Structure 1
């Protein structure tokens, strides 16, 4: 039946199709098409009616095995290639020529008679809810979207894929013309021909268009590009293999295509063939970044509607099209940042994270930057909004973060902290850890509660430590507080700078050492060595005690911080567990005689 399936589909979709048109659509000679039609007529799959070919009941029955059951649209990822647009909008909901990419695909599926549509969501998942009401789609949540690659998306949609005829689509693809059909005879992967060198997934195939090998990178080749279709037979065999790969250690960064590549390379004869589905130039678009989107849709050149891009254009007095080299940076725990270029100089734009207006006083942060400005130990600030928290700063080409496991490097970081503390700089605000613990506790309670079972017991221990510190008070000065190794940068000319002063305030200097230690997941021995490096001498017993007390209190504080962020929808994995453990373990250390 598969021999006739494409012919029957074309006649089903347009009974007025000519034999010459069929030859072009089926990539067959006119003679081969004539032979195929004669055979289909003799088998009663088609009939002639007024010089047209029509499907018979037998023909429709033949096609029924190839009817598409549904489409699964992958929409869980962050879309780092489209920053800063995707800080506000999921990539599939970005518009091209005034139409959201995912909606264009849904409409094309509907035109083909496919209404069972499953969208797998993750990042900014709430933004997709309206599609349920507008198009009657189903939403499936992928909780691993931030930790695993798209292999996790197919895992969480497995019940809708396994044993089904199903399209596997990406929410951020754009198809010029509708390439979906109600009936699909074979499994296939959309492909385009790329001249020259490419880093895409390259396909090799035989005369039957069956994919025989997949490699990453190549030259002058057909590559994976756009939609995919799984036949019922293919999904029945492939999905259990994918599920096994998903559960295997080391597969977190896998694409589902990695599984396909391995099976094809290993010549798994049980897996039905996946075919190449070549597309003409300009039919399928997988936008690599905002620059490509700009070149395709003029809207994004000057009027993106994005707050950050509008701000940059205003600060530098340039059109948005002059903002180049946009790319995401490693996501911070408090904010989101991206890199951009203006006039061949690189800068970083910081966008305040969700809920930071309750956690950070931006006026205090600004005051801290101004207080240390003459020391030249921070990043160079180009723009700072004391109300919103948006910040633009110089990016130091060739710089890198300090390595918390490099003792010599951390010694240099401690020298910078010591020189800061020794200047006894004063500002009008404090970082009071007791007040912060109380405040974060209230935020947690108001946003959903604190899930640690023994939190009341640990809280009592933290009060004991606060009393201990009250009896050991020493002079305060401006402290950085957020002295994670990632905030110490080593520039290309080997200078050390300390960036991101949003938590800075008046405090006891040793809190900076404690914060650095827990952020670096240091053991007691490593924390002791860090303190010794800072003081450049053997610490007194009371100094060790103070370090441990601040490590415990800081661990508890950031555990509460993480609980609050989780309550409002931002997850940080096991970070809260590690911080909570510091609270418990170093309470014990601080209370030793």
Structure 2
């Protein structure tokens, strides 16, 4: 942390002396809030294990710029390659809470945001969430890392369920719709931050992840489908099945980070266990 602060103070982007505050909660990057008295920024230092996680900073920058141009993401201010440091606009607003995420008006707004996101052109990346989960799982096995007893069996079941989905055309997706990554702006609109996992992928993944993280009940889920334009029961069921892949991907992420990350303050093992518990519950409902 202190090394990061030293680097930030040396940068040429600031107009005045800066104040720096570490941002808690991020599970991948090391994030800081920076103010130079006139403007506010977010500084994101990439982890040392980006290649193992399958992350690509240039892809993240390109996709974030496209999101910003379409008013659904932060503006990219500058990238310092030597430090793998990305400086972004700070978006004024509040992180989306579960209670607000479940409100009818918010569900309508997130559906509209997804419709805009999923229609964008020019996104970089084509790595599907299932490929990412398989890569993470295989990496942990190659390192003889901790793997929960029931993860492999749940992995097999999830792959079988996902294989049953109706084919879907890939499009621009965020793929990390944690509520912490949804900002309620001062004007009431929603924006997404943290685009490092964004790819051209199955749009049903974004919808499924929001349903899980917002803890939507069936009525709220139906409202999301309505606002997004999903009417056929088979299409709704495919999104419910997609929730298993979301939980699997998050569980394998936690398992991998538990092995490779040096951020010991982040409870990756506990996160993996929580997501696996979610997955097992979803598998019984599908």
Cα shift readout 1:198-220 (whole Å, capped 9, x = no counterpart): xxxxxxxxxxxxxxxxxxxxxxx
- Between structure 1 and structure 2, the one with the greater Rg is 1
Change (3 A) 1:478 1:373: same
Corresponding residue SS for 1:372: helix
TM-score for both structures, normalised by structure 2: 0.86
Q: After TM superposition, where is structure 1 displaced by more than 6 Å over at least 4 residues in a row?
A: none
Instruction: Return the alpha-carbon distance in structure 1 between the equivalents of residues 217 and 241 of structure 2.
Output: 12
Cα shift readout 1:356-405 (whole Å, capped 9, x = no counterpart): 342112122122123334212211221134675421112234x1112232
Which of residues 252, 276, 281 in structure 2 aligns to 1:560?
A: 252
Which of residues 40, 44, 48 in structure 2 aligns to 1:346?
A: 40
Partner of residue 303, structure 1: none
Which of residues 232, 239, 249 in structure 2 aligns to 1:540?
A: 232
Asked if the contact 2:130–2:249 (Cα under 8 Å) also holds between the matched residues in 1, the reply is no
TM-score for both structures, normalised by structure 1: 0.43
**Residue 405, structure 1, aligned to residue 99, structure 2:** yes
Change (3 A) 1:314 1:387: closer
Partner of residue 427, structure 1: 123
**Within-5 A mapping of 1:60-99:** 84-85=1-2
Asked if the contact 1:350–1:390 (Cα under 8 Å) also holds between the matched residues in 2, the reply is yes
Q: Cα RMSD over matched residues?
A: 2.5
**Residue 362, structure 1, aligned to residue 57, structure 2:** yes
Corresponding residue SS for 1:574: helix
Asked if the contact 1:447–1:564 (Cα under 8 Å) also holds between the matched residues in 2, the reply is no
Q: CA deviation at 1:560?
A: 0.9
Corresponding residue SS for 1:475: coil
Of Structure 1 and Structure 2, which has the larger fraction of its residues in helix?
2
Asked if the contact 1:477–1:508 (Cα under 8 Å) also holds between the matched residues in 2, the reply is yes
Long gaps (5+) in structure 2: none
Long gaps (5+) in structure 1: 1-83, 86-305
Instruction: Return the alpha-carbon distance in structure 2 between the equivalents of residues 317 and 578 of structure 1.
Output: 41
Cα shift readout 1:61-120 (whole Å, capped 9, x = no counterpart): xxxxxxxxxxxxxxxxxxxxxxx41xxxxxxxxxxxxxxxxxxxxxxxxxxxxxxxxxxx
Structure showing greater relative contact order (alpha-carbon pairs closer than 8 Å, 6 or more residues apart): 2
Q: How many residues align?
A: 278
Which of residues 18, 23, 47 in structure 2 aligns to 1:329?
A: 23
**Within-5 A mapping of 1:164-563:** 306-311=3-8, 313-316=10-13, 322-324=17-19, 326-353=20-47, 355-359=49-53, 360-385=55-80, 389-397=84-92, 399-406=93-100, 407=103, 408-421=105-118, 423-469=119-165, 472-520=166-214, 522=215, 525=218, 528-529=221-222, 531-532=224-225, 534-536=227-229, 539-563=231-255
